[in-house]
Structure 1
Amino acid sequence: MKQYQTDLASLMLRIALGIMFLAHGFTKLIVFTPSGTAQYFQSLGFPWFIGYLAIMFEIGGGLLLLLGILTRIVSLLAVIQMIVITFIHSVNGWSFSNAGGGWEYPAFMALTALSLVLLGSGRFSVLAKYLAY
């Protein structure tokens, strides 16, 4: 495989994962509201402030992924977040269309993020000429 193909694959994964994180972060911010998100996380047994951290990570991390900044770090954190979410949803079965959401979607997102941990930002990132990718 040629290097530009790997760089293009990284770009496509960063765009896909970044958009998904932005969509989920803004849904938590605008639709569910920060306090509603915090209450939901609390109902799952997490401290309330984890809901606020999730919103900040999903929006901030999504933007960083789109720009190709700190891709490996953001993606590693996303892997951890998605593995936790996969276990939370595992009691609901496989399909995300099940009541409460299944585990197939967060598992897929964890593997997508893991791919970016391995690939890095690639040369199609805003800081590529300054950083080793």
Structure 2
Amino acid sequence: MAFPALTHAAITVTDLDASTRWYTELFGSSPVLDEDEESGTFHHTVFALDGGMLFGLHTHTEPGPADAFDERRTGLDHLAFAVGRDELDSWTTRLDELGIAHDGVKHAHYGSGISFRDPDGIALEFFAPPA
């Protein structure tokens, strides 16, 4: 039996409106869903990305810890969006146009990527496997 693909990723954010605007600019599209979840424990906005992947932003009714995201803590390290190697320079330009700080294109034997962070400091990456 083959292991199933990921269908969605959801991250918790501190300011849903600000993060929704930021991701709308990054993705170049608006959320397809913006609602209180049925249980009443969180509100989410959800984006539909190419390939059928969903990306959600959550805020919870119960407050959580006030500390900032840190990929060295057990849990999420980063999220990577699949791109072709020939698209990396275009994404660098797009991030620059949006005023999003990044480290430029980095190359390694396992692939190439551009690292950047969202408004909550969550580590994100555009990643291209080796040619």
Q: Same fold (TM over 0.5)?
A: no
Question: Which of the two has greater helix per residue?
Answer: 1
Q: TM-score, normalised by structure 1?
A: 0.31
Bigger relative contact order, structure 1 or 2 (CA pairs below 8 A, ≥6 apart): 1
Question: Which of the two has greater strand per residue?
Answer: 2
